[in-house]
Amino acid sequence: MLLRTLLIALILTLSTGCATVKNWFGSSKNKAIEPAELVEIANPIDVDAAWSRNLGDGQEKLGLRQRPAIEGERIFVANDEGRVLALDVNSGDTIWDSEAVKTGKEGSRVFFWRREKIDAGLSGSPGVGNGMVVIGGRNGEVIAFDADGGAERWRTKVTSEVTATPLVTDGLVIVRSGDGRTFGLDAGDGSRKWVFDRGLPGLGIRGNGSPVAGDGLVYLGYDDGSVIALRLADGQRAWEQLVAEPEGRNDLERMSDVDGEIQLGLGTLYASSYKGQTMAIDTNSGRPLWNRDAGGYGGIALLADRLLLADGAGTVWALDRNSGTAIWKQDVLARRQLTTPAIHGEYAVFGDVEGYVHWIRTADGTVAGRSRIERAPILGTPQVAANGMLVVLTNEGKLSAFPQPN
């Protein structure tokens, strides 16, 4: 547990400012881990923000990939003060505000050599569906709100911190806790219908990927490099497939987490591993269809003929959906710790560790536009509304919206 905690602390440190690490050691060699310098874009597209607003305290100390949720013309967001808000996607104006959500008693965590007190605030991103908004807390509480007015519908508790976005589907709320368990909760009252328990490796990246559902199954990526399909009805395992083998001499080398967004196509599931592997899996049998040596801790965006992702080095890849063959790659954003991409018209959009948002043409990989929200990391996946508005949240709680470029 101590080793796992030390690694998490190191990842958080690196993700919030590589320049600080450089100054500790004063060596020019550390430039090799700094984000690549940004180059001037020829004929950049117009990507001015339509609006921005500060939501209060963010999650910068926790290193979580918080993201907003969008349904129709409403954005649902949460912050570390325990507030859940519904905003208008066109203006950013508040529709409702839950104010302070009380989530139980304080707790503590070990941080290097000291034990640090933490309050029991919200830790995950909101999930939305069936007229409700559901979010988890650091003490394992799960709270459901009415999506129209913000009234609390129910709350329950699972066995550990909830950092993954809950999935609301088919009368169930699927919730992942940080101890390897996945819960199927009744969407009406939050009562437990089933639980799937899986052990965790000695080390892993902080956080879990969100569940994805389709055809009566729910799909989950795990820290040991595997993807598991569970039956929605009872939580029983339908199949399991290893995306990346956790090989190495120690826990650090064996890290192979599947933590980014997995994508579901027609009969095919696409998943990427921290170990640098991306796989297409047949959803009926769990059999691999192809495997590609390109992947990272982020997730995948899906188009009709290709999928897009960034690998651990910051290279952006477009892979053919049917074969995994590389269509193009772009490496000018090296070491910028890119998010899972969002598809914004004809562009793939990535956030980075220095607070920049990048628009890359999906057709050929050229960088077309750039905007900086603030000097804070963007870790959560940008989200796109039905009207084309792109919404991006930094780790310090600044939310910005960008209309679709012409």
Cβ neighbors of 299 (< 8 A, separation 6 or more) are 209, 259, 260, 261, 262, 263, 272, 309, 340, 381
Residue pLDDT, tens place only, 42-62: 999 999 999 999 987 554 444
> For the purposes of burial, counting CB atoms within 10 Å of the CB of 115, is it exposed (0-12), middle (13-18) or buried (19 or more)?
exposed
Is residue 32 assigned to a domain? no
**Secondary structure of residue 33 in the 3-state scheme:** helix
Q: Which residues contact 129 (CB under 8 A, 6 or more apart)?
A: 71, 167, 168, 169
Query: pLDDT value at position 21?
Result: 35
**If you search the block for the tokens 């700094």, which residue do you land on?**
34
| One-letter amino acid for residue 388 of the chain | G
Which tens digits make up the pLDDT trace of 212-262?
999 999 999 988 888 999 999 999 999 999 987 666 666 655 556 788 899
Quick check: is 145 in a domain? yes
338's tokens: 């890119």
Residue 319 corresponds to which tokens in the numbers above? 């892979």
Q: Please determine, for residue 120, whether its predicted confidence score (pLDDT) is greater than 60.
A: no
Structure-model confidence comparison of residues 296 and 106, the more confident one:
296
Residue 218 near residue 269 (C-beta atoms within 8 A): no
Contact 58/395 with Cβ under 8 angstroms? yes
Comparing 67-71, 117-121, 124-128, 242-246, the range with the smallest average pLDDT is 117-121
Q: How many domains does the chain have?
A: 1
Strands (E) across 162-267 are located at: 167-169, 172-176, 181-186, 192-197, 212-214, 217-221, 226-231, 237-242, 263-264
What CATH number is associated with residue 150?
2.40.128.630
19 phi and psi angles, rounded to 5 deg: -65, -30
Tokens 């559902």 found at: 213
Residue range 325-374, pLDDT digits in tens: 999 999 999 999 999 999 999 999 999 999 999 999 999 999 999 999 99
The mean pLDDT of 18-35, rounded to a whole number, is: 51
pLDDT averaged over the chain?
Answer: 84
Per-residue pLDDT at 338: 96
Give residue 102's identity as a one-letter amino acid code. Answer: K
Q: What is the mean pLDDT of the segment spanning 192-215?
A: 77
Q: For residue 82, give the DSSP letter.
A: S
CB contact at 8 A, 172 and 189:
no
Write down the pLDDT at residue 107.
40
Q: Is residue 372 part of a domain?
A: no
Confidence class for position 1, pLDDT limits 50, 70, 90: very low
132 domain-assigned: yes
List pLDDT tens digits, range 156-191.
999 998 989 999 998 999 999 988 899 999 999 999
Question: Does a structural domain hold residue 72?
Answer: yes
Tell me which amino acid residue 133 is.
V
Which pLDDT band holds residue 116 (cuts at 50, 70, 90)?
Answer: very low
Q: Is 205's pLDDT higher than 70?
A: no
Report if residue 98 sits inside a domain. Answer: yes
The whole domain housing 104 covers 66-197
Does 124 or 102 have the greater pLDDT score? 124
Instruction: Output the CA torsion sign for 198, 200, 201, 206.
Output: positive
What is the spatial distance between Cα 84 and Cα 303, in angstroms, rounded to a whole number? Answer: 31
- Range with lowest mean pLDDT among 112-116, 275-279, 393-397: 112-116
How far is Cα 131 from Cα 291, in angstroms, rounded to an integer? 38
Classified as helix, coil or strand, 176 is strand
Greatest mean pLDDT range, 151-165, 259-273, 289-303, 345-359: 345-359
Angstrom distance (rounded) from CA 289 to CA 296: 19
Residue 81 lies in a domain: yes
47 in a structural domain: no
Query: Does residue 67 contact residue 339 with C-beta atoms inside 8 Å?
Result: no
- Tell me the Cα Rg of the chain: 20
| pLDDT score recorded for residue 252 | 58
